[in-house]
Amino acid sequence: MKKVGLILGSASDMPVAEKAIAVLRELEIPFELHIYSAHRTPEEAKAFSETARERGFGAVICAAGMAAHLAGAVAANTTLPVIGIPVRGGALDGLDALLSTVEMPTGIPVATVAINGAGNAALLAAEIIAVSDEAVAAKLKTHRAAQREKVLAASREAEAKYNGEAD
């Protein structure tokens, strides 16, 4: 099975990344986590990116806030799919990170999820891997069915509590 790279621009991004970690663990998808800054450790980020395919990665998730150049820097050095998580913070509360991540030049795409959208980033990475891995596809199907049941259970609970009440 292909693994997922999870690269954080800073240790302060860990609370957001933990949501991706939980999803990857739930789906039993192997991952490697590293903290590499596009600005403070560019050589390490580049080395990871250039060797990721050969080391068995199928997708890379990058979480970074503020200027958020990490996903673009990684994407510039690999042909693997890169998913950017803009992290909330700073004066613009994550909007700067979102724009930095989503506005990539033609030729260097980065898939971008919502601000702090680590769970969706992990699911997207799983979907990418599932294109060629039926076991991961089956786990995603089970995950979706569980999500559906959770919503329906909440609906039944709310219906029992509120439907039929006199106004």
Between CA 105 and CA 90 the distance in angstroms is: 24
Q: Indicate the pTM of the whole model.
A: 0.94
Question: What are the domain boundaries of the chain?
Answer: 3-133
List, for residues 57-88, the tens digit of each pLDDT value. Answer: 999 999 999 989 999 999 999 999 999 999 99
Phi, psi of 5 (to 5 degrees): -85, 135
Between CA 132 and CA 60 the distance in angstroms is: 16
List, for residues 7-39, the tens digit of each pLDDT value. Answer: 999 999 999 999 999 999 999 999 999 999 999
One-character DSSP codes across 5-68 = EEEESSGGGHHHHHHHHHHHHHTT--EEEEE--TTTSHHHHHHHHHHTTTTTEEEEEEEEETT-
3-133, which class in CATH? alpha beta
Write down the mean pLDDT value for the chain. Answer: 96
Share of the chain above pLDDT 90, in %: 96
pLDDT for 167 beyond 60: no
Angle at 40 between CA 117 and CA 46, to 5 degrees: 75
115 — pLDDT class (breaks 50, 70, 90): very high
Phi, psi of 95 (to 5 degrees): -65, -40
Q: b/e map of 111-148 (b: 16 or more CB within 10 Å)?
A: bbbebbbbbbbbbbbbebbbeebeebeebbeeeeeeee
pLDDT for 166 beyond 80: no
